[in-house]
Copies of this chain bind each other. A is one copy, B any other.
Amino acid sequence: MQEERLSEFELDARLARDTELVASLGLCQLRMMKDSRWPWFMLVPQRNGVSEVFELTPLDQAILTFETNTVAAALKKATGAEKTNVAAIGNIVRQLHVHIVARSEGDPNWPGPIWGFGQAESYDDAARQILIDRLTENLAS
């Protein structure tokens, strides 16, 4: 039943375009933004028709919290960032997604927010792979 629901999950078209899949966790897809300005990841619960965290079941809310905090801790460790920014905004893309971003002094728009700031800059392949590898190593440990 659960597997059936997961297999039917439909990712929002804009999320599909702007991010790439890194790993599939218990509840969420862990995806990376195609924007090299900040180490910027996203958790997308594999549930259709949900736009607010409080619309998830209580169990899913607990799992999302666990996955969010696990990824945020790993990302901070992987990057040596000063602060993580964690946010569920969704004013534009309504499919529930949680941003997890590593911020450091002097990065673009620091200490302001990353959302709505400037234009995405693409990764070069090596830098992209190094970041993914570092994050997944820290997720596994």
Contact = CB atoms under 8 A, between A and B. Distances in A.
B73 A52 contact: yes
Contact of A61 (B65, B82, B110, B116): B65
Interface in A44-91: 51-54, 61-62, 64-66, 68-70, 72-73, 76, 82-91
Given A112-B115, A116-B113, A72 B91 contact: no
Contacts of A61: 65-66, 69
A84 B52 contact: yes
A41 to B, nearest CB: 14
B86 A103 contact: no
How many copies of this chain are found per oligomer?
Answer: 2
Given A61-B69, A112-B115, A88 B87 contact: yes
Contacts of A66: 61
Contacts of A112: 91, 115-116
A85 B73 CA distance: 22
A103 B70 CA distance: 28
Interface string A6-17: 000000000000
13 contacts: A52-B73, A52-B84, A54-B76, A61-B66, A82-B91, A83-B90, A83-B91, A83-B94, A85-B89, A91-B112, A92-B111, A112-B116, A113-B115
